[in-house]
């Protein structure tokens, strides 16, 4: 598996961006058809009737959230949404870290770009 890190600049506040990357309602606006937090604390992401569960590994308010897909057997793999603010320009960036097979990097990057376009539309960026 290859680590993929993508950076997208967004015209929004850190608080708005953190809400859409860390809450079920926010994630449903741009990333999945539906997102639920289960009793055991795992997150269920639903696309086209198919469900993938993830464990919340870590989060820090207004900075990042990191998930681990339960079906992914590679211990070091994760999916992370990180917020970075440029100290000179105050531009807000969303940095997405994901893992994929080497021959799927372009497809995976394209998929993330589509998700972020939907995110831009949902927050008016």
Give me the pLDDT at residue 99, please.
95
Give me the pLDDT at residue 125, please.
77
Low-confidence residues of the chain: pLDDT under 70: none
Query: Which domains, and CATH codes, for the chain?
Result: 2-21+58-123 (3.30.530.20)
The model's pTM: 0.94
Give me the pLDDT at residue 42, please.
95
Rounded to whole angstroms, the Cα distance separating 102 from 114 reads 20
Rounded to whole angstroms, the Cα distance separating 48 from 120 reads 22
């Amino acid at each position: 598996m290859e680590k993929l890190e993508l950076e997208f600049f967004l015209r929004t506040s850190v608080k708005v961006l953190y809400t859409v990357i860390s809450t079920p309602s926010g994630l449903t606006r741009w990333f999945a058809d539906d997102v639920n937090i289960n009793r055991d604390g795992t997150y269920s992401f639903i696309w086209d009737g198919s469900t993938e569960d993830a464990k919340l590994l870590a989060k820090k308010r207004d900075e990042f959230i990191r998930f681990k897909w339960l079906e992914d057997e590679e211990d070091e793999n994760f999916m992370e949404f990180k917020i970075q603010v440029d100290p000179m320009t105050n531009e807000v960036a969303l940095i997405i870290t994901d893992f994929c097979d080497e021959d799927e990097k372009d497809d995976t990057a394209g998929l993330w770009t589509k998700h972020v376009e939907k995110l831009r539309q949902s927050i008016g960026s």
